[in-house]
Each structure stands twice: as structure tokens, then as C-alpha cells.
Amino acid sequence: MITSSNMITYNDRSVVVETFPMGIDYKKYESLSNMPTVAHQVRNLRERFQLQHIVLTIDRLDYSKGILQRLQAFELLLQMHPEYIEKIGMCMIVVPSRDNVQQYAALRDEIDKLVGNINARYRTMGWAPIHYFYRSFPLEILSALYNLADICLVSPMRDGMNLVSKEYVASRVHHDGVLILSEMAGASKELIDAIIVNPNNIGAIARAIDEAINMPVLEQRRRMLPMRQLVEKFNIHHWVKLFMDTLNEVKRNQQSMLAKRINTEMAQQLAAKYAAANKRVLFLDYDGTLVGFKVNIEQASPDEELYALLEELAADPRNSLVMISGRKFETMEQWFGRLPIDLIAEHGAWFKLKDKEWRQQPGLHDQWKKDIQPILETFTDRTPGSFIEEKSYSLVWHYRKVEEGLGELRANELMNTLRYYTSDKALQLLAGDKVIEVKNVEINKGKAANSWLQSRDYDFIMAMGDDLTDEDIFKALPEEAVTIKVGSYMSAARLYLRSHREVRHVLKMLAKAAAPAVTEK
């Protein structure tokens, strides 16, 4: 699995992860507040409750809603502020949900008992602190309650969004009222002008209710107006449009990045085009392209079959064979220095023409390593099986040996940490197959390939690679180039193969197709 920004690539499938905070039908709730029938219901409810301050809570029956903690907080408020007795009341609506399940039935019993205890302890002849309704209500009644309530208390222990808070805000057409909102509800990330509370802290909830009771009207309006504007803008229609637009964009991107798998017929056409060319260049990545990945990176050395294949391709005088890899130049020299091929190491930091000496790209520096290496060492100490590979102008954190699950977790943590520390440096972060690499931004396989093509007139250009760094080559090469992604069809490349074995098979077909022409010469 490879993660990059908000995209996860797993088993040839790319999944985009995005947040879409759900909205409500703002105009519907706003218009309800202006309806005569709702205004009539508000008058009736006000006469019934005859209270100075009304706290409204609406939830379905669920452990995640924090209903018991809310009741405890309200009881604590009455203990701390006896002056609120007969002046405040909680209107609590619990909508039946799964009460045929034993645990939910037990929760309902607990709520019934706690409401009964609080009412029995504090009620007076003409006043009860809690008005509890275990039922659902028509929308007009709910709108009347939203308009009636001075305070809306929404304190779930955990909630994806919670639309009650948005419905209350949309209903406050006079821009008054106070919303108390749990920090554990998704809506708290949007409705930041609410009083935000920790739902586990009943003392904090009690203090928030006290603050809401005593909040001046001007302060209420200062908070409510921006929340109403936000709920109006990010309504249900905006949510649907944003979701569908993003979905369509993802599909368009998938289609634009969709490489075609090379079948037998396509391979034969490619071989014919290759055989007819007079001057060719082949850019070949190494790990994951010509050989499979190994748990120990030093064990991924070339085998005799690969050596024979590369020698056969390099023997054709019409070919320029360029091995372009992220490996250290010392390793590349050890493995391929004896072959008559050109070498590009460490993503372009080092290069070597056949029979020449190694040269490095000018203008690079590695002073940044002293800041980044301690971070990688910290994560290595926390992650058994991981290790750091140091190259001339890059650092690589490997986690192929790490237990599955832990490696991905640490890799995501490391990427987030490195983004913070590299934001003001000329560095690039690359998330590859079980590796995270930090390198100079000037080092780029695409730039290296482009420099190779300058002042050379090739009539056949091909590039093969398997990871994110190879995408730079695919994007940099001219449109007529043959670009092949290995292991995934989501790529800027036009074609793809499933494995290094298929790569070798295609390269053998190319060598065989050109063999008669070479023999004739």
C-alpha cells in the first residue's frame, strides 16, 4: 500500500480520501421559523413551560450521545446555582432507537431513573427542572422548539457531524440564542463560535450552561451571525454538489491516468516499432522493474538472466541503454560498471557514461541532513525492523521488515512530521514501496532523462519504472515516447505491466525482434 497526500494506492486500485462535512436544508428551517403555525406553537410552548431560560437537547437513544453525562451536568448546575431553580428548565427529547436491544433498553431505564431522581429532588409545586419526551416530533414542533430554546445543548461523546446543532442555528432568524457544542462532534470544527465543551467533563458543561444563561444579547448575535452564514453557505445542496464534483473529478483523473496493460498483440506491435527504429534509448528503473523487491535491499542484486538480457540489448549498436535508479552510485558501479550501458544513480544526483568516470550533478548540498537525520533516527528507534539508508544527497527510511500495520502507521506519522520540518527547505518527500525518501528537490529522474535526450535525435524512446519517482520520467518524455508503469495502471505512463517478470519478457521480445537486423550488420 502506498499513500500520497489524500490518495491510497493498494493492489492496482487508487482510492481518494476526502472530507465532506454534511449540510442541512438551510432555507427550509429558516422559512419554518417564519411560518404562522410555528409561531403559534412557540406561543403555546412558552405558556406551557413559563420559564425564563430553556435548554433544548435532541438525540436518538444511543450510548454515544452522552445523555447521562448531560443530565449529571444539569444536576450539578442546580447544585452550584440554586438561584436557577424555577427559572431554568431542560427540554429533553430522546428519539426511540433500537430499544428492543437489551443494552439500549437498559440505557433508556438509566435515563428514566436519572430524570426521575433529578425531578424528585428539585421540583417545586409549579416547576419541574426536566421535561423529558421519549418520542419523535413533527418537523413543525421541532422548529418551534428551536425557536423557543435560549440554549441548545449538543454534547455527544462521539459524533461524525451532528445536524441538530446546524438545524438550531438555521432556525435562529433573530440571530440570538446560544449553542453549546461537544468538541467530539464533527460540527465543532465548523461552528467554532459555539461554546465548545469536553463532553466527559460534567463540570465544564455546567459552567457552559451558566455562561450561556448570562451571555449578553450582543455577544449572542456576534457568535450566531457567522454560524448562520456558514450553515447557509455550506448547505445540503452545496454538500451534494461538492461531493459529486469531486467524484467526477476523481473519475476524470483516473481515466486520464489509466494506462493500458500490454497484451500479446500490443507487445508484438511494440517489438515491430522497436525493430524498425535506427536510434533507440531505453530508460530502465531497477528495483521493482527489472528485479522484485527483497526484505533485505542488498539481496536484490542482478541475476545471471538479467545480466544476459542487458548485455544482449546493449550489444545492439542502435541502442543506448540507460539504467536510472535510486540506488547509491557505488552499488550501481559494483553491479553494472562492467556493462556497456549508461548509469544514473540516486535519482539523478550521479551519472556515468559507459567507459567514463562517475560525475555528480553540480550545485547540490547535504547540510540539511543534520536536521532531518535525528527525526529518522527517532522513528527508527520506535519501529523495530526499520533502518536508515544514507545516500549522497538523500536519506531513505526503510520499513519493509517492520510488522505489517505498524510500518504503515509509523510511515504516516513520519510523513506528517517531515512535511512540517521540510516546508521551508528545498527538499522533496517521496513515499515509495515500504520506503520514505527525503532528497534535494533539484534531483529528479525526469530532469536527468531530459538532459540525456538533449542533442540526441532518437526515433525510439522507452521508459519503464514502478514508483513515484518514475512518474517524473513519464511526464518529462515527449508524447511519442513509450512509457510503461510496472505494478499499477494508475500512472502518467500510457502502458503498464504487472511485474518485473513481464518486463523481462517484453525486453526479450524486443531483443529477439531486432536480432536479425543486428546479425545482418
Residue 351 sits in the same domain as residue 403: no
What does pLDDT average to over the chain? Answer: 89
Whichever domain contains 296, its CATH number is 3.40.50.1000
Residue 10 lies in a domain: no
Query: For residue 422, what pLDDT is reported?
Result: 83
Number of domains in the chain: 3
398 assigned to some structural domain: yes
- Host domain of residue 391: 369-440
Residue 366's pLDDT band, with cuts at 50, 70 and 90, is confident
| 453 class by beta-carbon count within 10 Å (0-12 exposed, 13-18 middle, 19+ buried) | middle
Query: Is residue 182 in a domain?
Result: yes
Q: In this structure, are 426 and 351 located in the same domain?
A: no
What is the mean pLDDT of the segment spanning 46-70?
91
Q: What is the pLDDT, as a whole number, of residue 367?
A: 87
Rounded to an integer, what is the distance from CA 231 to the centroid of its chain? 24
Judge whether 5 lies within some domain.
no
Task: State whether 321 and 450 are in the same domain.
Answer: yes
Look at strands 342-345 and 319-324 and give their pairing.
parallel
Q: Tell me: do 134 and 181 sit in the same domain.
A: yes
pLDDT digits (tens, 9 = 90+) for 283-337: 999 988 998 877 677 777 899 999 999 999 999 999 999 999 988 899 999 999 8
Active-site annotation holder among 59, 150, 159, 285? 285
Q: Domain boundary at 191, 213, 241, which?
A: 241
Q: Is 456 in the same domain as 314?
A: yes
% of the chain at pLDDT higher than 90: 60
pLDDT at 165 over 50: yes
Spell out a b/e string for 257-269, using b for 16 or more CB atoms within 10 Å of the CB, else e: bebeebeeeebee
Mark whether 324 and 420 lie in a shared domain: no
- Residue 521 has a pLDDT of 40
- 81 and 190 share one domain: yes
The CA dihedral of 475, 449, 498, 257, to the nearest 10 degrees, is 0
Q: Say if 14 falls within a structural domain.
A: no
Question: Highest mean pLDDT range out of 232-246, 297-311, 462-476?
Answer: 232-246
Domain final residue pick, 440, 472, 498:
440
Instruction: Return the CATH number at 141.
Output: 3.40.50.2000
453 and 434, same structural domain?
no
Q: Which CATH number do you get for residue 401?
A: 3.30.70.1020
Does residue 412 share a domain with residue 453?
no
Do 388 and 487 belong together in one domain? Answer: no
* pLDDT value at residue 518: 43
Are 349 and 287 members of one domain? yes
- Domain boundary (393, 412, 440) is at 440
Residue 366 designated active-site: no
